[in-house]
Structure 1
Amino acid sequence: MSKRLGKGLDALIPSLSVSEDDKVIEIPLKELRPNPFQPRKAFDDENIQELADSIAQHGVIQPIIVRKVLKGYEIIAGERRFRASQVAGKKTIPAVVRTFSDQQVMEIALIENLQRENLNAMEVATAYQALMEEFKLTQEDLSARVGKSRSHIANFLRLLSLPEEVKEYVSRGTLSMGHARALVGIKKEDLILMLAHRAIEEGWSVRQLEEAVQNLETKRKDNDKDKDKKTDPYLVDVEQTLQSRFQTTVKIRNSSKDKGKIELNYYSRQELERLLEMLNNM
């Protein structure tokens, strides 16, 4: 088991395992409270019900791990068993009492969930940030504690800079971690949202989104070079209006006072067809 867990948890393994020498006590469910540092925000109701059915028939086979607090006990490991016992109508649950610091409790909850892949990307990012802020840890400190590379931690923390709407997409699984990483380098929120919406609506792969971001960056550099050449505020306003209308990058290139061309960017065959349909209906 220890080989599967982060290095930061290795020293805690003996305290998480239950042996025949441990004193197991029955604790009333009403005296227990969930781990306040639990990074997992959503529990699958169907899985909880299945576990509740098993507990109703066989009882709780593996005791949960708790620590004593001012009013009752706090769950360290075993919240699913606790929730399922509530659903099963149990009054008590077998438990082993341990002593843990707040930092150990946060690390245990985070690493256990990471190993089971129970957390979505935003829950992981939020948990990393909470650990760093609560215990004044650097990224290097956190890397050593949870057994993950510094680049891994940095990539997750960058997700926290995304707009709330996009973070919600990632939390629900509408956008993947890969999609989020492709968007995180964009500075303008409206462009992030535009590309996120396009990725969802068009079913873009991570590669397609990365290409769209790259094309957008290339256009931005071209725009920077052309700033001195285009000072007409009317054309700037028209570009912004068309970009909002077509939900894609629009570029107006004027070759003379009254002549020029309008460019509409697309990032997939499906999006090209969408733009053509919009133009045909105008």
Structure 2
Amino acid sequence: MTDVAKLSTSGTGSPEEVGVVYKIPVSDLKPHPLNPYHVRNDDAMQELAASIQKHGVLVPVIARRKDDGLELIAGHRRQHAAQMIGVEAIPVLVLDMDDDDAIIQLVDSNIQREGVLPSERAWAYKLRMDAMKHKAGRPTKEDEDNSPKISANFRSDDELGVLAGVSGDTIRNYISLTNLIQPIMDMVDDKVISLSPAYAIAALSKADQESLLDAMECEQVTPSVSQAQRIRKLSLSGQFTSEIAVQIMREQKKPIKSDVILAGEKIRKYFPKSYTPSQMEAVILKLLEAWQRKRDRNQSR
């Protein structure tokens, strides 16, 4: 490794070394095994790769020393973009940090980035909250399950909400999504199921989620918020079955309004003053029919 620079801070007049930047082969950096953020070859990745091609990696990635080498903490997207365009080595800020600090740095490095998926945000919040609890000597989720009395005294979710700029309820709701089975989590990420019904579905047991998934696939629909809340209530009371899932999914949802309203003052200028609204409507429909016939002819050529 080639020493590039030393970073220091000087709050009291005496510099304190916080880490060293090295130029390190991209292939030597091992991704963090708990990284909640996916590296996607989307448009943003193409833009990042183009920027690195032109300017290089301007901001060093962050890694920590492990017994088997260097573990990447922040900068997985930069590493991937560099690999895409054949960059062999990138600047790396090497820090000494324990597992909890590594998780906190990992989560915070991307949580405010645009395009973070619900599943990524859910696992990021959970990882960070568990790390906060562990650092403070507080019980983890497993400890809380075994000791509800202890759990009531600690609200790391509210503390994390303050740090993240959201409410504690938002943190709790997102973390609940980590209980979803993967096919339903994928539907949430793909915006097939919105967040509000997803929070309710997350309270279901894995078996009940499987039953609901089968019903959704059978009927080709997803539950509304009210339906998801009813399903949650039935599941928690032990009354939810696969038959009930199909029955609820067969309920007709309120149709989405498809009316198009054209303001009279916007279209009046195209018609004789003597035309009534019904006459204008008839003309518009005839024009649309002629337009449709023309499109059909063009498509058939």
**Structure 2 equivalent of residue 155 of structure 1:** 173
Deviations 1:31-50 (A, max 9, x none): 21122231112423433233
Query: Partners in 1 of 2:92 and 2:68 — Cα distance?
Result: 16
**Structure 2 equivalent of residue 212 of structure 1:** 227
**Structure 1 equivalent of residue 107 of structure 2:** 110
Match of 2:97 among 88, 97, 100: 100
Residue 106 of structure 1 and its aligned partner are, at CA, apart by 1.0
- Secondary structure, aligned partner of 2:93: strand
Q: Which amino acid aligns with 2:253?
A: Y
- 1:126-145 aligned at under 5 Å gives the runs 126-131=123-128, 135=134, 136-137=139-140, 140-145=155-160
Q: Is the 8 A contact 1:186 1:192 kept in 2?
A: no
Q: Is the 8 A contact 1:179 1:209 kept in 2?
A: yes
Q: TM-score normalized by structure 1?
A: 0.59
- Secondary structure, aligned partner of 2:123: helix
Q: Is the 8 A contact 2:31 2:76 kept in 1?
A: yes
Alpha carbons of structure 1 residues 192 and 94: separation in structure 2 relative to 1, 3 Å:
same
Q: Is the 8 A contact 1:31 1:71 kept in 2?
A: no
Count of residues in Structure 1 that have an aligned counterpart in Structure 2: 213
**Structure 1 equivalent of residue 25 of structure 2:** 28
Q: Is the 8 A contact 2:19 2:94 kept in 1?
A: no
Q: Which amino acid aligns with 1:141?
A: S
Q: Which amino acid aligns with 1:59?
A: G
**Structure 2 equivalent of residue 193 of structure 1:** 213
Match of 1:176 among 183, 191, 194: 194
Query: Partners in 2 of 1:68 and 1:157 — Cα distance?
Result: 29
Match of 1:70 among 67, 70, 89: 67
- 1:184-263 aligned at under 5 Å gives the runs 184-185=202-203, 188-189=208-209, 192-193=212-213, 196-197=216-217, 201=220, 209-213=224-228, 247-249=246-248
The answer for unaligned runs of 5 or more in structure 2 is 1-8, 10-17, 141-150, 257-301
Alpha carbons of structure 1 residues 81 and 216: separation in structure 2 relative to 1, 3 Å:
closer
Match of 2:252 among 266, 269, 280: 266
**Structure 1 equivalent of residue 44 of structure 2:** 47
Query: Partners in 2 of 1:216 and 1:74 — Cα distance?
Result: 43
Q: Which amino acid aligns with 1:266?
A: Q
Alpha carbons of structure 1 residues 123 and 216: separation in structure 2 relative to 1, 3 Å:
closer
Query: Partners in 1 of 2:157 and 2:227 — Cα distance?
Result: 33
**Structure 2 equivalent of residue 80 of structure 1:** 77
Which of these two proteins has the greater Rg computed from alpha carbons?
2
Alpha carbons of structure 1 residues 112 and 142: separation in structure 2 relative to 1, 3 Å:
farther
Residue 196 of structure 1 and its aligned partner are, at CA, apart by 4.7
Query: Partners in 2 of 1:25 and 1:157 — Cα distance?
Result: 36
Q: Does 1:89 align with 2:86?
A: yes
Alpha carbons of structure 1 residues 176 and 113: separation in structure 2 relative to 1, 3 Å:
farther
Alpha carbons of structure 1 residues 89 and 217: separation in structure 2 relative to 1, 3 Å:
closer
- Secondary structure, aligned partner of 2:116: coil
Alpha carbons of structure 1 residues 40 and 29: separation in structure 2 relative to 1, 3 Å:
same
Q: TM-score normalized by structure 2?
A: 0.56
Q: Which amino acid aligns with 1:267?
A: K
Alpha carbons of structure 1 residues 248 and 71: separation in structure 2 relative to 1, 3 Å:
same
CA RMSD of aligned residues (A): 3.9
Alpha carbons of structure 1 residues 85 and 45: separation in structure 2 relative to 1, 3 Å:
same
Structure number with the higher helix fraction is 1
